[in-house]
Structures are given as C-alpha cells and as structure tokens.
Amino acid sequence: MFTYRTRNFSYKFFLLKNKYIITLSLIDFSNKYFFICNIFDNILKRMKKGFSIRGGTSINV
C-alpha cells in the first residue's frame, strides 16, 4: 500500500498520517486503525531496541 524510506522518515510519516486520517473516516475505521497502530508501534519498538535501517532501504507495507 505505502512505502516509506528512512531518509525522509518524518516527512513521509507526516504524509502517511494525513492519508490515513482521510481513509480512516471513509472506510473500515476499526480495522485500518488497529492495522496502522501496529505498523507504527512495531517501527517504534525496533527503534527503541536500536534497530537501524540503512539510508536507502524501504519498508513496504
């Protein structure tokens, strides 16, 4: 569905948040909401563990 690259992580994250807020209000509120929360929760957990992704890599969701 979406791709975010670590180089502009915060920028892409901001865009994703806006897109998700729009889609949340339209379709499948609960499913989308929990799915998104899990994705970002996983990323934050990995960052806390010191998990690092090199500059060019992208994560596909």
Query: pLDDT for 18-56, tens place per residue?
Result: 565 555 455 555 666 677 777 777 777 776 665 455 554
- Position 41 scores a pLDDT of 75
CA distance 25 to 12: 20
Looking up tokens 């909401």, which residue turns up?
Answer: 33
Q: Does 58 score more than 60 pLDDT?
A: no
- Could you tell me which of 47, 52, 55 has the C-alpha nearest to residue 8? 55
- Position 1 scores a pLDDT of 41
- Position 44 scores a pLDDT of 74
Angle between helices 9-26 and 29-48 (to 10 degrees): 160
**Cut 0.75: pTM above it:** no
- Position 19 scores a pLDDT of 60
- The contacts of residue 2 (CB under 8 Å, 6+ apart) are 16, 19, 61
